[in-house]
Structure 1
Amino acid sequence: MAQPFTKSAAARDLTLMHVANMSEDECHQYFCKVRWRSIEQQVCPSCGSINRHYYRKARRQWRCKDCDAYFSVTSGTPLHGHKMTYKKMLLGLMQYVQAANGIATDRLSHEMDVQVKTAHVFGGKIREALMTAQDLTPLSGLVQIDGAHFGGMPRFGRRRRKSDRLIEIAGRVKEKFEKKKGDTKEAPPRSRTNRTNWERCRKNRRIVIVLRQVSLNSGEGGERTITAICKSENMIDVTALANRYIAPGSHIMTDENPAYTKLDDQVDPATTSKKWKHDTVNHSIEFSSPEGINDNQCESYFSRMRRWVKGVSHRATPKYMADRATEFAWREDNRRVAFGQKLELLLTVIFNQGPSVWWRGYWQGHHREDEILFKG
């Protein structure tokens, strides 16, 4: 059996140990190299001047030679106005990159030696940058589509499901004969099968629909991923997603869900012929047809996200589910990238975005108003 990439030496081009042994100045220089590709010249975020600006060593800031504005390597980015050291931020980013199934906020705060509030906002800013920078150009070639529900799990009952039946029956009989007129009835114990419990949980249930462009080379798997959050896996949303994010002439593979039946009826206005080739696999019979029809790359994505829910966060709330879905799309697409290259990719994404909109001033009450839902 071939060795997984994450277990190979090639994946360890930069490790947590390397970052831990770096000094604060070395971490600062790493940030400069990633943002400006140089430690000799800087780009002023105020006027765009490229020069060797005046350096203030004590504050690790520069003064622009043209407009006299002061700036640092994180000015005008989601990390603008940070109070953490560069080494702490680099350690946090390295932890984020190495966590295949995501990292809990508590764990991140322990590793970075910061408050949970700081770690929560730090992770949120990373996900916001990934969402803003996501490549949403239409997928082409072989594209697999599937949906899975997250969140809205029913809560367990207050009593054990497999309790001693004899004691339970005896208690009910005793309660029946000792009950007096006018006694108020005790609320029944919560049950997973109780309709009220299910209705309450369905409010938080969301469908993550994933579209994955699959490499035509054997063994390479998914190349690029686009995700969307819907309230149900329905025909209207699925058709709208396909029209927006899948190029004409592509080959689409889905399961037998009725939501995908309209994909066969879509017509390309340029050629007046069928827009896509659409094949389905019946999951009630097989995972993959003899002809190779499957949506296994979508299942790979869902497997990673479910491991995050079950083993890391233990919950999935609707408000920030779109952020999480984008995060795991990025993790899936870069699963065979070495840690050092992945860290540089992530920092490049962060430095190419402006100051955070959703997380700046989060603990002062400046929150995103609502969840991000796709509506076809």
Structure 2
Amino acid sequence: MAYRCKDCRKHFSVRTGTVLAESRLPLIKWLLAIYMLTSARKGIPSTQMARELGVTQKTAWFLAQRIRETWMGGNNDKDKMDGQVQVDETYVGGKEKNKHADKKLHAGRGAVGKTAVVGMRDENGVVRATPIKRTNAATLVGFVQDNAPEGGAVVTDEFRAYNGLSALGYTHKTVRHSVGEYVRDMAHTNGIESFWSLLKRGYIGVYHYMSEDHLHRYVNEFSFRHNTSKVGTINFINMTIDRMVDKRLTYKDLTNG
């Protein structure tokens, strides 16, 4: 707290009003952590980050979550995406057969016990994704309306929740995966599905578990890193620092969901 405001007489520093506020970690460790999350395409576990930074696993986990928080809700996220978009949903979570007996829901297989995530990819390769409570028409069509250009082309699979898109003025193109069709007239959902593959590789091979309470940050981590894959390291760090303002996240707020 090296400075003091002449008007209010309160002390402040470069960390004040940012996600860095009241952090006791040196700024160099923050920069190293940002670099680690940048360079590891499938993510980096808090245990490895702790070893490399010389901090505890709890500190590394809190540090990583605060960095992910800075990537949430950028200004560009409020704009409509460009051109023809691909929309798809997936499920994130462990398999029922691999869970402890007291954790099993005994309600079937497949998506049981997992969290749904919906995503969109535009013609420039930009991805937006977010966890959702339900995969009904209101939720999925609402996601399309919030992000796709009005009256634009939307490509989905044959899931019937998307059937109302044409009535809303969208050019709705459907790819029938159930009969082995993956491309129709150059329309496909391969781009967003490749993003799901990357997300799940990170889940299975790196993080092993993503709490439903924090899943939105992990999903945003992968989409932000995907969208900035061609940005140099220094520019990426600068982008992260620009987003740190007004992104305070306390440990109490984090652990209380």
TM-score exceeds 0.5: yes
Distance 1:369 1:92 in 2: 24
Aligned to 2:78: 136
What's the counterpart of residue 288 of structure 1? 183
Residues 53-202 of structure 1 aligned to structure 2 (within 5 Å): 61-64=2-5, 67-133=8-74, 135-156=77-98, 196=106, 198=108, 202=112
AA in 1 matched with 2:188: N
Q: Distance in 2 between matches of 1:113 and 1:133?
A: 31
What is the deviation of 1:301?
Answer: 1.5
Name the CA distance, whole Å, in 2 between partners of 1:67 and 1:231: 44
Cα contact 1:205–1:231 (8 A) shared by 2: no
Asked if structure 2 preserves the Cα contact closer than 8 Å seen for 1:145 and 1:212, the reply is: yes
Cα deviation per residue 1:267-313 (whole Å; 9 max; x = unaligned)? xxxxxxxx211111122323222x21111221122111011111101
Structure 2 CA distance, aligned partners of 1:314 and 1:361? Answer: 22
- 2:148 aligns with 246
Letter in 2 for 1:278: H
RMSD, aligned α-carbons: 2.4
Evaluate the alpha carbon distance shift between residue 87 and residue 143 of structure 1 in structure 2; reply closer, same or farther with a 3 A threshold: same
Bigger share in helix: 2
Q: Is the 8 A contact 1:154 1:197 kept in 2?
A: no
Match of 1:328 in 2: 222
Q: How do residues 336-355 of structure 1 correspond to structure 2 at under 5 angstroms?
A: 336-350=230-244, 352-355=245-248
Runs of 4+ in structure 1 over 3 Å off: 63-69, 155-158, 366-370
Q: What is the match of residue 164 of structure 2?
A: 262
CA spacing shift, 1:307–1:264, aligned 2, 3 Å: same
TM-score normalised to the size of structure 1?
A: 0.62
What are structure 1's unaligned runs of at least 5 residues? Answer: 1-58, 159-189, 216-221, 267-274, 371-376
- The verdict on how the C-alpha distance between 1:246 and 1:156 changes in structure 2, with shifts beyond 3 A counting, is closer
User: How much has 1:314 moved relative to structure 2?
Assistant: 1.1
Q: Give 1:187's aligned residue.
A: none
Larger Rg: 1
CA distance change for structure 1 residues 242 and 66 in 2, over 3 Å: closer, same or farther? same
% same residue: 25
Q: Contact 1:206/1:230 (CA < 8 Å) preserved in 2?
A: yes
Cα distance in 1, alignment partners of residues 105 and 29 from structure 2: 48
Corresponding residue number in structure 2 for 1:307: 201
Deviation of the 1:65 alpha carbon? 5.1
How many positions carry a matched residue from both structures? Answer: 252
Matched AA of 1:116: Q
